[in-house]
């Protein structure tokens, strides 16, 4: 009888995923931002109907900054800016979900249109500008998670924090966001690398970054400890990477996410190629993986590295891991392949491990360096 119930649950899950994938294909006929908003609504409706995902193969599990990740594949920030559907997205098989970027005050972001699919290039350009409902709205949503209300939140959920565009003290913005949201998440990511908030990337400079991370590390001594991660840009030269590595190593934070979107423009075929903003998707895979490998060479095992940028299949995820990432995130590929992508990546990642005679993801970390 239990096995019959499991089979029925699996069949229900596959049917729901198929419905979502079909819906996602239809939504791609809409303008990019309208499709994204509708996808969030669809996830909120279908997510609660999905059974909990079946346990992941133990070979995919990763222990990092004190957390046990059921698998190494996470949803990157940008999809669920206000923490509306983290539990729903976890049910599609992600090992962790990162919400945000969240700013202290609500922010409308840049004028539309500001999100563009580059279908011919399997890429996306965005200049959203940290549009979100503010930290109080995100806090309400995180507190309203059913599992949180029951006193034991299920699924690893991170929160990505930033500064308001018109802020007079951006470091203070990060501190107040951390105080408000850190108690409600499993880890906190400090986003200083979006190209769509003027001047934000200057916080990657040595002096400013040192002050920012020191402020947050000190702030968490007054609150329940939560791991801190820093998200950096791919558009950094060797000197900048040296300085960031030194600051990160000295700061005591737990992780580094490599990387955000790029302002570089490789050869692209889409009519939207000339739009301003950050480029993500397939063209970002090689440059972001190169920066990831360079940071692994500089930092070794001093912090956990998270690889993001252009991941669209198991081989892409494996390339990030071999470059030094213990965990991998994706987002843009979902716009083209739907949520069934997550299961395919995990299956293919297992095949990569078996091909190389490795028993788990952790054994593969940094082997390509």
What span, in angstroms and rounded, lies between the C-alpha atoms of 200 and 209?
A: 11
CB-neighbour burial class of residue 278 (10 A; exposed 0-12, middle 13-18, buried 19+): buried
270 is known as an active-site residue: no
Candidates 194, 259, 280, 332; catalytic one: 194
Cβ(190)–Cβ(209) below 8 Å: no
Cis omega (within 30 of 0) on the bond before 88? no
Provide, for the chain, the percentages of residues in helix, strand and coil under a 3-state DSSP scheme, each rounded to the nearest 5. Answer: 45, 15, 35
Length of the chain: 369
Other Cβ atoms within 10 Å of 57 Cβ, number: 15
Q: H or E segment at 337?
A: helix 332-337
CA distances in angstroms from 128 to 81, 116, 193, 195, listed in the order given: 11, 10, 13, 10
| DSSP string across 282-305 | GGGHHHHHHHHHHHHHHHTTSSEE
| DSSP string across 132-174 | B--HHHHHHHHHT-HHHHTTS--SEEEEEE---TT-S-HHHHH
Residue that has been written with the tokens 């716009």 in this structure:
335
Which residue, 241, 247, 176, is CA-closest to 206?
Answer: 247
Cβ(127)–Cβ(33) below 8 Å: no
What span, in angstroms and rounded, lies between the C-alpha atoms of 362 and 340?
A: 24
What span, in angstroms and rounded, lies between the C-alpha atoms of 49 and 149?
A: 18
Ramachandran quadrant class, 39 (left: phi over 0; alpha: psi -120 to 50; beta: rest): alpha
Residue that has been written with the tokens 């028993």 in this structure:
359
- Name residue 158's beta-bridge partners: 98, 187
The catalytic site residues sit at 194
């Amino acid at each position: 009888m239990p096995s019959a119930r499991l089979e029925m649950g699996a069949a229900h899950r596959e049917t729901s995923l198929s419905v979502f994938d079909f819906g996602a294909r239809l939504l791609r006929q809409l303008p990019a931002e309208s499709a994204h908003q509708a996808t969030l609504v669809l996830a909120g409706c279908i997510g609660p109907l999905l059974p909990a995902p079946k346990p992941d193969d133990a070979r995919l599990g990763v222990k990092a900054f004190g957390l046990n990740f059921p698998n190494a594949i996470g949803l990157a920030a940008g999809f669920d800016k206000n923490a509306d559907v983290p539990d729903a997205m976890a049910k599609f098989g992600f090992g962790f979900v990162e919400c945000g970027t969240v700013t202290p005050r609500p922010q409308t972001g840049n004028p539309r249109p500001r999100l563009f699919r580059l279908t011919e290039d399997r890429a996306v350009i965005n200049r959203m500008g940290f549009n979100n409902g503010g930290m109080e709205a995100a806090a309400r949503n995180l507190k309203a998670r059913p599992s949180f209300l029951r006193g034991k939140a299920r699924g690893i959920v991170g929160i990505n924090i930033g500064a308001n565009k018109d802020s007079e003290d951006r470091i203070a913005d990060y501190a107040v966001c951390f105080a408000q949201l850190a108690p409600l998440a499993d880890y906190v990511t400090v986003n200083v690398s979006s190209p769509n908030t003027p001047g934000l990337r200057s916080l990657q400079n040595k002096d400013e970054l040192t002050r920012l991370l020191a402020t947050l590390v000190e702030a968490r001594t007054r609150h329940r400890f939560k791991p801190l991660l820093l998200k950096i840009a791919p558009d950094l030269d060797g000197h900048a990477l040296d300085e960031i590595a030194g600051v990160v190593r000295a700061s005591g934070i737990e992780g580094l996410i490599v990387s955000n979107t790029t302002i570089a423009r490789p050869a692209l075929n889409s009519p939207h190629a000339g739009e301003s903003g950050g480029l993500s998707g397939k063209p970002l895979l090689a440059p972001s993986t190169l920066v990831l490998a360079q940071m692994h060479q500089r930092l070794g095992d001093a912090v956990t590295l998270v690889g993001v940028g252009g991941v669209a299949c198991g081989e892409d995820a494996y390339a990030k891991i071999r470059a030094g990432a213990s965990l991998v995130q994706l987002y843009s590929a979902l716009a083209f392949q739907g949520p069934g992508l997550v299961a395919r990546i995990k299956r293919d990642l297992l095949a990569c491990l078996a091909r190389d005679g490795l028993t788990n993801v952790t054994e593969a970390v940094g082997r390509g360096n």
